[in-house]
Amino acid sequence: MTQANPNFENKEGQKIPSVTFRTRQNDEWVDVTTDDLFAGKTVVVFSLPGAFTPTCSSTHLPRYNELASTFKQHGVDDIVCLSVNDTFVMNAWAADQESDNVTLIPDGNGEFTDGMGLLVDKNDLGFGKRSWRYSMLVKDGVVDKMFIEPDLPGDPFEVSDADTMLNYIAPDAVKPAPVSLFTKPGCPFCAKAKKLLSEKGYGYEEIVMGDGATLTSLKAVTGRETVPQVFIGGKHIGGSDDLEAYFNDQ
């Protein structure tokens, strides 16, 4: 197993740094403290080098967001993403990403990251000081478990991912299959399908006809011309009646 950078101290069993984060919410400055985020809670934290960077946007943040409901089922109150970026950048990234289930926190001055001993020099990329990539499980402000990326060139991404953290917390957890469905506005059968998915605890991505998707796309992908058309884990289920039958057979 690849070892973490020996210069990075594993903080398991220690309290997290006490920091106040400057955030912008609804066009107002709002101070958020580490007590606000962690006191009396079980929180998963993942920290990354920068908003909008490739690995962070394509994999790290989206997967934590995707597994958020499963984390909650196993005692996690919140998932926090930290980056040494200002609040305007983090807010723009949140709007751009699938991140509704993750709290994005700007460690603009790097105080929290420095306190964790994970502030690193990224001058070669023109980034200045940034966070080394890591994740941790924090219980009532105390670090229970840390996964620190190994000391390798570039931006290693081997152990701080959502699946590794979930496997630590709940090795037998059943991970939700990805779900997408084609819909159109005002369609009662689409509403029925979305209600069924929600009742069964399935998160889903909705592809709305006319909003970047066309009838040609629908026919090419599903072979059908009606909506909704539901896919679960890469399998084409069909319309709302098909979805109901699928759930009844489970």
Which residues does the annotation mark as catalytic? Answer: 56
Please enumerate in sequence order all residues whose Cβ is within 8 A of that of 205, keeping only pairs 6 or more positions apart, or say none.
Answer: 178, 179, 180, 181
- Chain centroid offset of residue 70 CA: 12
Q: Which of 104, 83, 97, 102 is nearest to 155 (CA)?
A: 83
In whole angstroms, give the CA distance from residue 60 to residue 164. Answer: 11
The alpha-carbon radius of gyration of the chain (Å, integer) is: 21
Token pair listed for 174: 């059943």
State the amino acid at position 49 in one-letter form.
P
CB environment 30-58: b (16+ within 10 A), e (fewer): eebebeebbeeebbbbbbbbbbebebbbe
Nearest 5°: CA angle at 96, between 111 and 129?
25
Q: Which of 217, 215, 209 is nearest to 186 (CA)?
A: 209
Burial class (CB in 10 A: 0-12, 13-18, 19+), 111: middle
